[in-house]
Chain A
């Protein structure tokens, strides 16, 4: 994760923030590149995983997408459209991998694609909608004040759910103050998600 003090903190998905990052990358700014990776690493990696790739294959696809991004940066025309570009390229590489995998297993395994991967108007359309919503949640969480961000992470990203005394301990808060703070943080998160179209 990019520290909040970094010059390119994660920001809501307004496109303009991505355009700034892309321009900085083109200027050779390594921190901007790290910010791009911090913002989109899970989006990129999640696509092959959702299509059933094992970690080794997902890693290959991740690296290939990164290589394409480095190589194509100077030719990107719409810097604000970084996210759809990443999704398109990652999907392309994932489908390529999937096609090869199916060919290789054609004679040994039935097609066991989960129902939610069934194609409607494009390969994995429903899945990519899920990817977009997950990314919207990540960016909404990142846009919260640091303590709220950590609170939401502890509440929703930890499995099994943490008891409140543990949440309080990790945040350095009194257990009794958790109730008020979590309510306030959740309202802020909801406002961010509403702005993102939830």
Chain B
């Protein structure tokens, strides 16, 4: 028997193949390393992308980040270093801490 193509494996991972095709692929990969490998990276891809939507920060955070950059640039243009206190509206516990860039 030939190999299952990557697009079919993707359909399998996405759960949109019918029951007979699913069983056929499951039987096939038990003895076929290339198809098992094809399936493996697609399974990991699906797992890594599944939660992506919840990692999208709200648009307003990006607007604020842009404003921080503009403030930092203006301070730099005036010959001073960016001042964290001007950059962040802080809760005391997570405000900018001055992590050293050492080691970077």
Q: In the complex, A175→B57 CA distance in Å?
A: 33
Query: What does the 1/0 interface line of B69-104 toward A look like (CB < 8 Å)?
Result: 111110011000111100111110111111101101
B52 x A193 contact (CB < 8 A)? no
Q: A66-B64, A137-B48 are in contact. Are A155 and B88 (CB under 8 A)?
A: no
- By beta carbon, the residue of chain A nearest B84 is A71
In the bound assembly, the distance between CA atoms of A74 and B14 in angstroms comes to: 45
Interface SS majority for chain B: helix
Query: Residues of B contacting A42 with CB < 8 Å?
Result: 52, 55-57
* Count of interface residues, chain A, beta-carbon cutoff 8 Å: 62
**Interface residue? A61 (CB, 8 A):** yes
B72 touches A96 (CB 8 A): no
In residues 45-63 of chain B, which contact A (Cβ within 8 Å)? 45-46, 48-50, 52-58, 61-62
Tell whether, in the assembled complex, residue B41 and residue A71 are in contact, meaning their CB atoms are under 8 Å apart: no
With A28-B77, A30-B66 already in contact, the answer to whether A155 and B14 are too (CB < 8 A) is yes
Given contacts A42-B57, A44-B57, A77-B104, contact A30 B6 (CB under 8 A): no
Query: Which B residues touch A46, using CB under 8 A?
Result: 55
Is A41 interfacial (CB 8 A cutoff)? yes
B44 contacts the other chain (Cβ, under 8 Å)?
Answer: yes
Contact (Cβ within 8 A) A97 B94: yes
Cα distance A88–B102 when bound, in Å?
A: 11
Q: A interface, by DSSP: helix, strand, loop or mixed?
A: helix
Interface residues on B, range: 35 or more
Cα separation A63 to B56 with both chains bound (whole Å): 14
Interface residue from B49, B68, B94, B102 paired with A137 (Cβ < 8 Å)? B49
Task: Name, among B58, B64, B93, B104, the residue most crowded by chain A CB atoms within 10 Å (CB to CB).
Answer: B104
User: Given the complex, which residues of B lie within 8 Å of A57, measured CB to CB?
Assistant: 94
C-alpha spacing A134/B104, complex, angstroms: 22
Bound Cα distance from A63 to B87, whole angstroms: 9
Given A73-B82, A100-B93, 19 further pairs, Cβ under 8 A = A25-B69, A30-B70, A41-B57, A45-B56, A49-B54, A60-B91, A62-B57, A63-B88, A63-B89, A66-B64, A66-B68, A70-B71, A81-B104, A85-B104, A130-B48, A137-B49, A161-B14, A161-B15, A189-B45
